[in-house]
C-alpha cells in the first residue's frame, strides 16, 4: 500500500501543479487500532508555485481526492495550515504527530 500511496501523491502533484511538503496517516491506522475494513486516510500539506500566491483572487486551499474504498487523500495549502496551526486546530496537530509519515 505504501507504493500505491506514493503513486497517488505523485499524481496529485502532477495534476494540480502542487508540491506536497508533508503527508501522513490520520485516523485508526495512525494510532494502531485499524479494523479489517479500515481505509487509509492520508492527509497532506502542500504549496503552489510562487505565481499562485501573487494572484489577487485566491484559489482553493483544500484538496480532496477519494481514490476508492481503501484510500482517501485530503490536504490543506500551507498558508491555510499555518493559520489553522496558529488557531490551535486539533486535526492539524494530530497530523503533525502522526507516527506514520509518508513524506
Residue 59 in any domain: the answer is: yes
Residue 39 in any domain: the answer is: yes
Residue 19 in any domain: the answer is: yes
So what's the pLDDT on residue 27? 86
Mean pLDDT across the stretch 5-32? Answer: 95
Residue 67 grid cell: 481514490
Query: Worst-scoring range by mean pLDDT, 13-22, 62-71, 87-96?
Result: 62-71
So what's the pLDDT on residue 35? 87
Residue 44 in any domain: the answer is: yes
So what's the pLDDT on residue 91? 95
DSSP letter at 101 equals: B
Residue 20 in any domain: the answer is: yes
Tally of structural domains, the chain: 1
Residues spanned by the domain of 64: 2-96
R_g (Cα) of the chain, nearest Å:
14
Residue 56 in any domain: the answer is: yes
**What value, to the nearest 5°, has the Cα angle with vertex 70 and ends 64 and 71?**
30
Residue 101 in any domain: the answer is: no
Residue 48 in any domain: the answer is: yes
CB neighbour list of residue 9: distance below 8 Å, 6 or more residues apart = 20, 23, 42, 44, 73, 102, 103
Residues 34 and 25 sit within 8 Å (Cβ to Cβ)? no
Amino acid at each position: 500500500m505504501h507504493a500505491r500511496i506514493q503513486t497517488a501523491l505523485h499524481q496529485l502533484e502532477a495534476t494540480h501543479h502542487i508540491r506536497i511538503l508533508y503527508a501522513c496517516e490520520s485516523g485508526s491506522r495512525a494510532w494502531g487500532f485499524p479494523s479489517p475494513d479500515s481505509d487509509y486516510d492520508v492527509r497532506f500539506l502542500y504549496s503552489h508555485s510562487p505565481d499562485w500566491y501573487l494572484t489577487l483572487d485566491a484559489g482553493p486551499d483544500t484538496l480532496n481526492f477519494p481514490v476508492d474504498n481503501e484510500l482517501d487523500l485530503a490536504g490543506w495549502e500551507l498558508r491555510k495550515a499555518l493559520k489553522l496551526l496558529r488557531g490551535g486546530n486539533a486535526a492539524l496537530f494530530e497530523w503533525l504527530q502522526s507516527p506514520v509519515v509518508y513524506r
